[in-house]
Structure 1
Amino acid sequence: MTTALETLQAEVLRLSPADRAKLLDRLIASLDVDAGVEAAWDKLADEREQELEVGTANAVPVDVAVARLQARFPG
């Protein structure tokens, strides 16, 4: 006998990838218990995006960023 979770999973997997992504975002958001922390992260992300757009910050290629992180946090 299938459980409700298995039934729901089967239905979700029939959704388009875009709809599954939207659902995933909503599910993750539902787990966030501190709206203040989420709002602060959203604000910071918006500020960083604006800095990139106006040229007050420079983007770093992902391979460079990963190399820096690996050097900083080996293992």
Structure 2
Amino acid sequence: MSTHPLLKVEISQLSIAERIQLAEDLWDSILEQPDKLPLTDAQKQELDRRLERYQQDPMAGSTWEAVKQRLGFPE
């Protein structure tokens, strides 16, 4: 699927904040129809593996706050 050249020019003229918002809006529109986004068998297996690992030790992972701090995101 190719993007119309005019659309690329229009997007490039948006501010960074506007492009981020556009990306979020696009993602939200995809999430409104989760049945249209099928998982592969490999993805299902990975999700099952992660769920099993979490159920074995729910405290083994990191909180979202800890991940953001480790990546240097502002508070």
Q: TM-score, normalised by structure 1?
A: 0.41
TM-score after normalising by structure 2: 0.41
Instruction: Looking at secondary structure, tell me which structure has more helix per residue.
Output: 1
